[in-house]
Structure formats: C-alpha cells, structure tokens
Structure 1
C-alpha cells in the first residue's frame, strides 16, 4: 500500500531522535500491513519513549499519526505488551 501522508515529527528533535520516531511509525505501519516482530517493536517503542517520555505527549503524537495514517500506535503497543507471540499483526 502506498502511503500518501507525512509522519508527524517535531523539527526541534535531534537527528537521532527523528530517526527513532520515524522507525516507530514504520513499525506501526508494518504491524497493520504485514506483521512485525514483537521484540523489535518493543525495543523501538522504548527508544521512542526516550524522545517522548510523557504519556500525554505520546498520546498527542500517536493521535496525529493515527489521523494521518489510520494506524493506531496505542493499539499496537497494547497488543505487543499483552501478547507473547513472536510476530504481532493487527
């Protein structure tokens, strides 16, 4: 599926932080489109949480991403934390 939206990003983030957030958005997409390794997702989510530590900010960025893409960060995180499967798919 070709994406016709932009990832929500804060241009004040450092380059490595931007990379971490973009990687998370890619993995959220993958969780919906093909499936993603649970451990890989959780590792990337931990890096995202270093950039966006507060729950409120996480929700705000997650909502921006969901509005743009239709994919829910919250649902992928919830599924990854609740599952013990190697691959998670929504």
Structure 2
C-alpha cells in the first residue's frame, strides 16, 4: 500500500457508529497490505461492514474508491479471509 494519505469512502447518510465500522473494515484491508492481519479480524470487520453497506453494488463502489487510492484489492483480501481459518494471518 502507498504511504500517501488515503480517504476512506464514506456516505453522508451514515451515523458516527457506521462511519467507525466502515473505517475499521478498511483499516483491516490496510493491515493485510502491511504487517498482516488475522483472517478472523477481516471476517468480523466485513460482516459489520455488510450491515452498513448491504448492497453489492454499493459495496463494489466503496471497494473501487478505496482500491483506486490505496493501490489495493479489497475483494481479494475479503475472499482470502473467507477461505481461511480465523487464526490464519493474511499478508498481501
């Protein structure tokens, strides 16, 4: 991941708790591209993210907005986490 500042994609319709939930999810993605993250942490963050962003099309929009800035592939991290045991450490 780039060292430059990355803006987390947010919606003006979200409340503070929802913003924190989405920010936490994208932080887990950042960790996967840095020091690594447990698959369980990504799974938990993704489940919470899906409560805030239940629509697949909206999810794709947020993933693309983040990935374009951060030079990451959020879906690949999520897919890998879903395919692994909770304690497995993901590094991209």
Q: TM-score, normalised by structure 1?
A: 0.91
In the TM superposition, 1:1-90 aligns within 5 A as 2-84=3-85, 86-90=88-92
Alpha-carbon offset, residue 5 of structure 1: 2.3
Higher mean Cα deviation, 79-88 or 60-69? Answer: 79-88
Aligned residues: 90
Deviation per CA, 1:23-47: give whole Å up to 9, x if none: 0111100001111011111011100
Q: TM-score, normalised by structure 2?
A: 0.89
Mapped to 1, the partners of 2:81 and 2:44 lie a distance apart of 11
Alpha-carbon offset, residue 2 of structure 1: 3.3
Alpha-carbon offset, residue 88 of structure 1: 1.1
Higher mean Cα deviation, 56-65 or 77-86? Answer: 77-86
DSSP 3-state at the match of 1:28: helix
Aligned-residue RMSD, C-alpha? 1.3
| Unaligned segments of structure 1, at least 5 residues | none
